[in-house]
Structure 1
Amino acid sequence: MRSLRLLVPQPDGGGEDRGTTTDTLPAPATFPVSVDRAATFPAGVEPADAFPARVEPPATFPAGVEPADAFPARVEPPATLPADAFPVPAEPVDVASPARPADGGTLPVITSPDVVVGGDDAVAGPEERLRRAVVHLPDLARRVRPVRPARSWRSAARAYRTALVVLDAVTAAAAAAVVLRGATDPWVGLLAALLAAAAVPAAVWAHGGYAPDRTATGPAEDKAVLRAGTVVALAAVALSHLTALDAPPALPLLAPVAAVAVMVLGRLVLRAQVRRARRHGRLLRPTLVAGDAAAVGGVLAALREDRGLGLDPVGLCTTGPVDTHAAAGVPVLGSLPDLPQLVAEAGAEVLLVHDAALPAAELRRLTWLMEGSGVELMLAPNLLEVAAGRVTVQAAGGATLLRVRTGATRRQVRTKAAVDRLAGAAALLLAGPVLLVCAAAVRLTSPGPALYRQTRVGVDGAPFTMLKLRTMSVDADRRLAELAAADEGNGVLFKIRRDPRVTPLGRVLRRYSLDELPQLINVVRGEMSLVGPRPPLPHESEKYDTTERRRLKVRPGLTGLWQVSGRSDLSWPDTVRLDLRYVDNWSPAGDLGILGRTVGAVLGGRGAY
């Protein structure tokens, strides 16, 4: 006996269960099979001739009508589906690691847009599998991120360190060959060159000059070379006296000094090439930035400002939502508890953590997790505009203290003033002929004096008379009010790109900053410095708040960070920020760097109008 379940089709395409009926069926062989008789044909007639193929007459069309026009193609209207035809699941699906739902099944794993495999879907029909794939595609699109191109800094860093070793070895061998060029036995000179080629790189390595964390960092590399060079120079002088070397007495000392200079210069060239490549988006290190939502914006701004550092933010790990403008397109990958997992998923080579984001115990455990991963851990202290030279690290039991220098000493201020006056006097003598020619040209091309005198505010708010070559008409100050509506400055400084008061010669003088040359006289007088903030006008300084008044703690400068960073193109907050950075962090080395950048800023002419 068999039970047959009858399913009756309904008009809506569904089915209705009519119940179960029980019928008594005969044995399976009781249904007769119909057997047709074999067909017979007359003698000599083949089966194909018995049923000839029907030949249709060729179709005819009216004159001028093409066959394609006689039967136009049928155009089907586009199909429309309701919005809920393919509902999107409320819970997102993690395609990387399938979870187990409540009923014990396995969520589908998407391998391609039209294939769903895994779990209970292995037995699903083609239509059902396609429907499920379409349902999960929006979720997949939200989760899948574009793959970034592979970074090449690790291999480039190894090549960089190899180049340093070769540079040091060749330079040391050349210095030894120069010292021993008068040796009677050539083998002695060759042996000395080989020993120097091995000893100098070994000394640099012993002082950390080839350490991976110091690669292309700048001062740390140079300090290692200077310390190693000092040791090698003292050893060379001692050996020359012990062996009674037949060479000028100063040569054993001068040769190592020259070798150290060449080694430092070579590092400067290599670092310049690295920084140039990084500014063009190469040799970058993918970096995951972690911290409080309010703090990561400042960290990202610092990384964007100094692209030469080579840290490329690929993701954020924060405690909350981040301002879109501050994030600047860097995606938020997760929260702080997921930090170790996110480092691996983002492919980061550097983990940069703001020190206020994690408690000390959590930060300590994070260092354990990063151990052996090849990921460099960096901390961003909660300091604003503090140069590394102002900070020293000191241990106190189990804690680490940062000592921050809070200002220049009186001796440093006096030394800077004396150097400024001497260097200003020398520069005035060198630039004197150019200054006289420019002054004569001003007198000949427009009526009025060659020099323009204006009251400015100096150190501690003291007024002084600043000198410039006149680049405007003599009635420029009287016409200022009528041009107020055309101001293109930053809200505090009055600037117009095509100022009608500027003379044709004045535009050339401003373009190359030649109108600033008379301020060397102010430097010699002690009213200004070679490097410092821009001297403000009295009505400008009257509007200063407490932060902006900090700019008046040092002497104003002939050039400065503001001048070499864009001048009039900068906003007022950026101008104040750069000036305060200089006031808080100035140093002799920093002044030399700004003077060197001034040459490029003058030739480039950016912001000079």
Structure 2
Amino acid sequence: MKRLAQELEGINYLRLAKRAAVTPGAVTAVYMTADVLAIALSIAAAVLARGSLGGLDIALYLPLWPVVWLFVMVYTIVGLYPGIGQAPAEELRRLTLASTLVYLVLGVGTFLFKEGEAYSRAVFLGAWALTILFVPLSRALVRNLFARRSWWGKPVVVLGAGDTGKMVVRALNRNPGLGLKPIAALDDDPGKRSAIDDVPVLGGVDLAPLLARELKVRHAIVAMPGVERKKLLNILEGYAGVFPHLVLIPDLFGFSSLWVSAQDLGGVLGLEIRQRLLLTGPRLTKRMVDLVLTLVGGLLVLPLIVLIAILIKLDSRGPVFYFQDRLGKDGRVFKAVKFRSMYGDGETRLARLLEENPHLKEEYEIYHKLRDDPRVTRIGRILRKLSLDELPQLWNVLRGEMSLVGPRAYLPRELPKMNGSERIILKVLPGITGLWQVSGRSEIPFPQRLEIDAYYVRNWSVWLDLYILARTVWVVLFSRGAY
């Protein structure tokens, strides 16, 4: 550390060392503990639920507790420990496939050893379903509790302090659950030696090996898309041995980032980029998932829909449902159905309020919503807070006009403000929920909503949809960003 102090003047070295200090194996230990508890709970719940119906010897399952460690072994093999830098949708995919594999192995094992008659198939299927539900939830809870602790994650150095470097630092700071903690940035341009969101820009990139040795940093991100090819190759080849984990940010903004695969084209690196949601097969898969979940979920929430309809009629005069023109796939306008949450003269009330309050007019122009909207009824405020006003859109999903998950259903008058983003966003069905809703909902400015929706279309997968649906439940329960 003394050598580093000599190289860098005016830097708080103790603070820098504290940023880089992590507890080896801490993330792995926490995740492993959460996984074991979630798996044990899943199996126990399945056994007890089946046992409550009678005819099951619960004691028969007690000797099976070591099976839990088989899950840990498979999770380790598929790279779920420590899981640093892993996107939530990718983590969900690996957890689901790994857990399913373990249960398949257990099923085959009981068959081969002729133990199938002794164990209940209902317990087996129930434990599998609960495992793929509880394990991701337990990991999400762990991240929510510990992601901002000083010992969580791994320190990372960002090479490059330009626009790309700043974007990387801010993205990692916004998503501490990824576990990559930017402790410093390096750039050869003396004009960029200022902090990025409290992350110091220490000096030139030649200091990277010194930082790696003195602070035991093993992760680096090269965020220098504008640098000349020869210099970039020298950096990558020179620092690959210093940083075991070296990530290159390419100059490919606006393309898919979740499901890109590398290809060797005769010694030339190629990146295969496929926007899956624009392909026929994935679209059919998404449609099948929509229909199954909507039919099952619609039957479950039908009593709630009837109750809400009655409350709306009792609260204010007017129809129960509200039909609004929205932009669908390929820009076709359709009627999105929602529970009415506004008074009949709502537009007159809004116009008067905006005319009398310039600061509210500015808020409305930025977010296209108001926190205290005079048009909204009493029951409407509750429905909007919990997003229950959108339940009737399940009908739009059945009609093929919407999807359960997708980009926001934009208003026709918003089309001129989409600034070209409509070329990608309007190629797919809009969703009842979406990535923008679980990322802040009404608190996100309109331009950022467009970026998030475009990101969703480019990076779609079934796993991303399942992740968004799970996050939607969490966000709605805690009413974050809704008004």
CA contact (8 A) 1:487 1:495 kept: no
Larger Rg: 1
- 1:288 correspondence with 2:188: no
Summarize the alignment of residues 190-201 of structure 1 with structure 2, pairs less than 5 Å apart.
Answer: none
Q: Distance in 1 between matches of 2:424 and 2:38?
A: 45
- Provide the secondary structure at the position in 1 that maps to 2:407: coil
**Which of 207, 223, 239 does residue 338 from structure 1 map onto?**
207
Summarize the alignment of residues 437-476 of structure 1 with structure 2, pairs less than 5 Å apart.
Answer: 437-476=307-346
Residue 469 of structure 1 and its aligned partner are, at CA, apart by 2.0
What residue number does 1:498 align with?
372
* TM-score (normalised: structure 2): 0.78
CA contact (8 A) 1:455 1:463 kept: yes
What residue number does 1:557 align with?
431
CA contact (8 A) 1:293 1:320 kept: no
**Which of 152, 177, 180 does residue 308 from structure 1 map onto?**
177
Q: Distance in 2 between matches of 1:438 and 1:170?
A: 39
CA contact (8 A) 2:367 2:445 kept: no
* TM-score (normalised: structure 1): 0.63
CA contact (8 A) 2:192 2:201 kept: no
* Larger deviation, residues 471-480 vs 323-332: 323-332
The amino acid of 1:423's aligned partner reads: L
What residue number does 1:363 align with?
236
Residue 474 of structure 1 and its aligned partner are, at CA, apart by 0.9
Residue 451 of structure 1 and its aligned partner are, at CA, apart by 1.9
**Which of 525, 531, 537 does residue 405 from structure 2 map onto?**
531
CA contact (8 A) 2:408 2:430 kept: yes
Q: Distance in 2 between matches of 1:455 and 1:538?
A: 7
Tell me: CA distance 1:304–1:446, structure 2 relative to 1, closer, same or farther (3 Å): same
What residue number does 1:412 align with?
282
What residue number does 1:87 align with?
none
Looking at secondary structure, tell me which structure has more helix per residue: 2
Tell me: CA distance 1:407–1:435, structure 2 relative to 1, closer, same or farther (3 Å): same
- Provide the secondary structure at the position in 2 that maps to 1:498: coil
Q: Distance in 2 between matches of 1:227 and 1:431?
A: 33
What residue number does 2:262 align with?
393
Residue 426 of structure 1 and its aligned partner are, at CA, apart by 3.3
Tell me: CA distance 1:418–1:336, structure 2 relative to 1, closer, same or farther (3 Å): same
**Residue by residue, what CA displacement relative to the aligned partner does 1:30-49 show, whole Å, maximum 9, x if unpaired?**
xxxxxxxxxxxxxxxxxxxx
**Residue by residue, what CA displacement relative to the aligned partner does 1:414-460 show, whole Å, maximum 9, x if unpaired?**
33234323433333333232222222222233222222222222111
**Residue by residue, what CA displacement relative to the aligned partner does 1:450-478 show, whole Å, maximum 9, x if unpaired?**
22222222111111112222222212234
Q: Distance in 2 between matches of 1:581 and 1:293?
A: 22
- 1:515 correspondence with 2:383: no
Identity %: 33
Tell me: CA distance 1:604–1:170, structure 2 relative to 1, closer, same or farther (3 Å): closer
CA contact (8 A) 1:489 1:568 kept: no
Tell me: CA distance 1:437–1:255, structure 2 relative to 1, closer, same or farther (3 Å): closer
Q: Distance in 1 between matches of 2:291 and 2:35?
A: 42
Q: Distance in 2 between matches of 1:480 and 1:166?
A: 54
Q: Distance in 1 between matches of 2:120 and 2:311?
A: 52
CA contact (8 A) 2:162 2:224 kept: no
CA contact (8 A) 2:154 2:180 kept: yes
Q: Distance in 2 between matches of 1:456 and 1:216?
A: 35
What residue number does 1:578 align with?
452
Q: Distance in 2 between matches of 1:252 and 1:451?
A: 45
Summarize the alignment of residues 476-495 of structure 1 with structure 2, pairs less than 5 Å apart.
Answer: 476-485=346-355, 486-487=360-361, 489=363, 491=365, 493-495=367-369
- Provide the secondary structure at the position in 2 that maps to 1:368: coil
**Which of 276, 280, 305 does residue 435 from structure 1 map onto?**
305
Tell me: CA distance 1:470–1:596, structure 2 relative to 1, closer, same or farther (3 Å): same
Summarize the alignment of residues 17-28 of structure 1 with structure 2, pairs less than 5 Å apart.
Answer: none
Instruction: Give the unaligned 5+ runs of structure 2.
Output: 48-60
Tell me: CA distance 1:428–1:366, structure 2 relative to 1, closer, same or farther (3 Å): same
Q: Distance in 2 between matches of 1:348 and 1:227?
A: 35
CA contact (8 A) 1:561 1:594 kept: yes
The amino acid of 2:444's aligned partner reads: L
**Which of 472, 476, 483 does residue 602 from structure 1 map onto?**
476
What residue number does 1:297 align with?
166
Residue 547 of structure 1 and its aligned partner are, at CA, apart by 2.2
Q: Distance in 1 between matches of 2:117 and 2:405?
A: 42
**Residue by residue, what CA displacement relative to the aligned partner does 1:341-381 show, whole Å, maximum 9, x if unpaired?**
233345534222236355224312222344xxxx5433334
**Residue by residue, what CA displacement relative to the aligned partner does 1:379-438 show, whole Å, maximum 9, x if unpaired?**
334443656542123334544432221343113223323432343333333323222222
What residue number does 1:77 align with?
none
What residue number does 1:118 align with?
none
- Provide the secondary structure at the position in 2 that maps to 1:467: strand
- Provide the secondary structure at the position in 1 that maps to 2:346: coil
Tell me: CA distance 1:324–1:582, structure 2 relative to 1, closer, same or farther (3 Å): farther
The amino acid of 2:138's aligned partner reads: V
**Residue by residue, what CA displacement relative to the aligned partner does 1:302-329 show, whole Å, maximum 9, x if unpaired?**
2123210111111111232577998112
Q: Distance in 2 between matches of 1:256 and 1:434?
A: 29
What residue number does 1:152 align with?
22
CA contact (8 A) 1:289 1:317 kept: yes
Residue 575 of structure 1 and its aligned partner are, at CA, apart by 1.0
The amino acid of 1:437's aligned partner reads: L
Tell me: CA distance 1:353–1:229, structure 2 relative to 1, closer, same or farther (3 Å): farther
CA contact (8 A) 1:300 1:326 kept: no
Tell me: CA distance 1:369–1:430, structure 2 relative to 1, closer, same or farther (3 Å): closer
What residue number does 2:54 align with?
none
Tell me: CA distance 1:525–1:589, structure 2 relative to 1, closer, same or farther (3 Å): same
Summarize the alignment of residues 197-208 of structure 1 with structure 2, pairs less than 5 Å apart.
Answer: 207-208=77-78
Instruction: Give the unaligned 5+ runs of structure 1.
Output: 1-93, 99-138, 178-188
Q: Distance in 1 between matches of 2:436 and 2:68?
A: 45
CA contact (8 A) 1:531 1:557 kept: yes
**Residue by residue, what CA displacement relative to the aligned partner does 1:563-583 show, whole Å, maximum 9, x if unpaired?**
222222111222111111112
Q: Distance in 1 between matches of 2:293 and 2:36?
A: 38
**Which of 407, 416, 419 does residue 545 from structure 1 map onto?**
419
Q: Distance in 2 between matches of 1:163 and 1:490?
A: 46
What residue number does 1:119 align with?
none
Q: Distance in 2 between matches of 1:264 and 1:511?
A: 26
CA contact (8 A) 2:259 2:273 kept: yes
The amino acid of 1:414's aligned partner reads: L
Summarize the alignment of residues 116-265 of structure 1 with structure 2, pairs less than 5 Å apart.
Answer: 142-147=10-15, 148-149=17-18, 151-157=21-27, 159-160=29-30, 163=33, 207-208=77-78, 218=91, 219-220=93-94, 223-224=97-98, 226-227=100-101, 230-231=104-105, 233-240=107-114, 247-248=116-117, 258=127, 262=131, 265=134
Residue 495 of structure 1 and its aligned partner are, at CA, apart by 2.0
Tell me: CA distance 1:423–1:508, structure 2 relative to 1, closer, same or farther (3 Å): same
Residue 168 of structure 1 and its aligned partner are, at CA, apart by 11
Q: Distance in 2 between matches of 1:212 and 1:316?
A: 24
Q: Distance in 2 between matches of 1:501 and 1:267?
A: 40
Q: Distance in 2 between matches of 1:424 and 1:194?
A: 37
Q: Distance in 2 between matches of 1:328 and 1:169?
A: 39
Q: Distance in 1 between matches of 2:475 and 2:38?
A: 33
Tell me: CA distance 1:381–1:326, structure 2 relative to 1, closer, same or farther (3 Å): farther
* Larger deviation, residues 225-234 vs 415-424: 225-234
* Larger deviation, residues 220-229 vs 526-535: 220-229
